[in-house]
Structure 1
């Protein structure tokens, strides 16, 4: 029954996809330059196989990296590259074999999608000079270049699946497999329309959630008999259920965001495209209800009641059926035209040409809090990190352990700041103003990290989550491994962190990298990640609580802070005094007309860079002094306790030494003058 679910998904997906293709008209021939029925039906078929193979590969790697024990008998030699003397767990080996076979199919289907997409883009003329035109498509056309990148990423991940059995190597294959989602998201319907960031990031989150959920179901079905025989069904399903819950949240959140970009009213919902979206949403809700039933009433009874096991597999089969139908509809939607136009604006303004969005109103203080442009990626990260912290906090309290409430509040405040900086006024105006871009950077590198560091997330992770004892590696083990790697220790070293903190701004603004952060989606997201990380490591080196950093003595911390801030001030002054426009091709062509020139705004940005660091610097200095005082108090109390235990033995020994020295001096003959 379990193995039969895979062909069931394929069959139902094909049926649902064909029905949706005909219903939406996506299978109809085009009036001009039609590529032919082979391409019209072959492209969605290849994409369907691509999606199934992607789900299988990512799901199998997810099980190998996060769920299943790698070594037989639960021996915890997890990260060594070679463990020839330790037998591998049969379930883990089977998961890797699934990843191997599915990755080959995934690679071939990606090549098929590439070729079909080329013909679909060029039309019937593609057959006239096929090889030369295909070469132009994959080397000069962005869509073709992205598919070449996808093929390369999949091929490298597949090679790792065949070539390594280390946890780190398989984890690298998993990272590459998940990285394929980024170019897929960049090729979505709304990639060139208004709301580009929302469209790309929501689509990426949607694909990630669906792949993790469906891929996990596939692996459970294929390992079902072995899981039941090994009596690992319950712990494996419990771990997968947690990931599936996260995936469901990603699917619902990203699906709503993405749908609102394509269907913006009741009339749009009544179109064929809108009706397919409603059907897909209904199937997603049913999937969520089945998952809820699993968590509440079935998983806890697995392994103890035969009826629970039968009920589990029955629900899994229904879940597969719904997933197959949903995937078929998703492929059809990808081939259909939404009711809301997804093309760039005709006769765009200069700001729309650069950013893809209309120019916001003239900035003032209130509009920095009223203007929003949501970034689904960072909202999902902030929401997920907040929920995880709160759950760990509740677990600690239920266990009877103490955890300062101020740390919880600090962490949540940091996440609110992160959402504001990445989705609020600094992000909106940071696309069109140098000064606003500087505000965004200063908040990311100097303000947001402070409450996050004081929340002590690594310590909370160690105390609020259970350690794995069966040889598998969960989030806790991976994070602790990462914290103690030589690479992160190098970048977390106080001197390196200080240089990175101060030097990154200079390199970013004066090397030309800033333009790519403005012009490309990937550049913008990497910019946020880098400056947030640089600020976090710097704050962690000075006022951090978590382990993994060898912090200098407190006086040296104050010296480091003063030197770094002095360098930071000189950076701001250099921008204030410069008459050369940074990223001039961007900020010089926005065409805002707000009553001041781009160079005036840039010099204002320099003063912001100089002045905005004063309050965080003062806060860090106060925190260092507070921690210094507390450290001195703890040392004094330690000495007092030691003296109480030894009845002042150390003090009496010191006094005896002084008395001995005095007696020796008294017996010594007087010196001649």
Structure 2
């Protein structure tokens, strides 16, 4: 039930991909390990917290919601549907970039993950994190402008027809595509929502410009009269859609609900700045 060894996608309405739960073993392993380490870390920290447990419970809820969003994107029937329907593929990518990524950032997983490890491992990782080349590289890619550029490049480069269509028929490229959407999105949301995020005006600028360029890409799909990804073949017919209608629906999903997510994030940030004493849900302890 929970293992799929078939090729990435079967693009035919005559032999449609079964819409079942499951994923490749390594995807399931990564999901399971990330959750088990987080739970183990929180359990280890819990006795030490005494009066400071509420922020940890809130962050645990954020992480759990983000983890469930990843499961929905990567291990639910949405994943095989994304091989037949461009609109489903867009829902999958939006779940990773604008639902799972910010929720995981708000969950602050690094602390619990580290606490779940043996103390000798924690010390070794701490030394590695403070190793100057690594520290400089991390600072460089997590600066708001750098994270914004990485996120922008990943989104637009992977939607170029040759790369996107290659991901439809190659498991390895498909995995890289998902990683290239999730991890730059994590960097972007860390830069905006993290404890050392930019000033309020700058954060709003990054959110607004991201909403604009992602909306522009969605509008290109929604308003185009040409099918960008013919590799989907007759897959959309299995869902009662013509290929161009499928593309237009996917574009609308990226354009409108996708843009709304950045508006919501901006409102959350405004609430945090206006009521800093009540920001446990979106700030670190």
TM-score when normalising by structure 1: 0.37
Query: Partner of 2:46 in structure 1?
Result: 397
CA shift at 1:372, angstroms? 2.2
Query: Are 1:457 and 2:109 an aligned pair?
Result: yes
Query: Partner of 2:32 in structure 1?
Result: 383
Query: Are 1:556 and 2:202 an aligned pair?
Result: yes
Query: Partner of 2:243 in structure 1?
Result: 598
2-side partners of 1:448 and 1:630: how far apart? 25
The 5 A counterparts of 1:51-90 are none
Query: Partner of 1:359 in structure 2?
Result: 16
2-side partners of 1:563 and 1:464: how far apart? 38
1-side partners of 2:108 and 2:223: how far apart? 40
2:265 aligned counterpart, secondary structure? helix
1-side partners of 2:257 and 2:189: how far apart? 16
CA shift at 1:533, angstroms? 0.5
Tell me the alpha carbon deviations over residues 89-130 of structure 1, each in whole angstroms, 9 at most, x when there is no partner: xxxxxxxxxxxxxxxxxxxxxxxxxxxxxxxxxxxxxxxxxx
Contact kept in structure 1, 2:41 and 2:111, CA below 8 Å: no
The 5 A counterparts of 1:237-636 are 352=10, 354=11, 358-360=15-17, 371-400=20-49, 402-403=52-53, 404-461=56-113, 467-468=119-120, 474-475=124-125, 477-478=127-128, 484-545=134-195, 551-584=197-230, 586-590=231-235, 592-631=237-276
The 1:483–1:432 alpha-carbon spacing in structure 2 relative to 1, beyond 3 Å, is: farther
Query: Are 1:198 and 2:4 an aligned pair?
Result: yes
Contact kept in structure 1, 2:236 and 2:246, CA below 8 Å: no
The 1:435–1:529 alpha-carbon spacing in structure 2 relative to 1, beyond 3 Å, is: same
The 1:536–1:508 alpha-carbon spacing in structure 2 relative to 1, beyond 3 Å, is: same
CA shift at 1:523, angstroms? 0.7
Tell me the alpha carbon deviations over residues 336-356 of structure 1, each in whole angstroms, 9 at most, x when there is no partner: xxxxxxxx9xxxxxx74x58x
1-side partners of 2:154 and 2:139: how far apart? 18
Tell me the alpha carbon deviations over residues 244-265 of structure 1, each in whole angstroms, 9 at most, x when there is no partner: xxxxxxxxxxxxxxxxxxxxxx
* Structure 1: segments with no counterpart, 5+ residues: 1-194, 201-343, 345-350, 362-369, 635-673
The 1:464–1:424 alpha-carbon spacing in structure 2 relative to 1, beyond 3 Å, is: closer
Contact kept in structure 1, 2:96 and 2:182, CA below 8 Å: yes
CA shift at 1:399, angstroms? 3.0
2-side partners of 1:417 and 1:448: how far apart? 5
Aligned length: 274
CA shift at 1:497, angstroms? 1.4
The 1:511–1:374 alpha-carbon spacing in structure 2 relative to 1, beyond 3 Å, is: closer
Contact kept in structure 2, 1:580 and 1:599, CA below 8 Å: yes
Contact kept in structure 2, 1:493 and 1:541, CA below 8 Å: yes
1-side partners of 2:256 and 2:132: how far apart? 35
Contact kept in structure 2, 1:382 and 1:416, CA below 8 Å: no
The 5 A counterparts of 1:193-232 are 198-199=4-5
Which structure has the larger Rg over C-alpha atoms?
1
1-side partners of 2:109 and 2:264: how far apart? 20
CA shift at 1:591, angstroms? 7.3
Contact kept in structure 2, 1:543 and 1:623, CA below 8 Å: no
CA shift at 1:611, angstroms? 1.4
Tell me the alpha carbon deviations over residues 150-195 of structure 1, each in whole angstroms, 9 at most, x when there is no partner: xxxxxxxxxxxxxxxxxxxxxxxxxxxxxxxxxxxxxxxxxxxxx9
Contact kept in structure 2, 1:461 and 1:476, CA below 8 Å: no
1:582 aligned counterpart, secondary structure? coil
Tell me the alpha carbon deviations over residues 263-308 of structure 1, each in whole angstroms, 9 at most, x when there is no partner: xxxxxxxxxxxxxxxxxxxxxxxxxxxxxxxxxxxxxxxxxxxxxx
2-side partners of 1:482 and 1:522: how far apart? 33
2-side partners of 1:380 and 1:508: how far apart? 25
* C-alpha RMSD of the superposition: 3.3
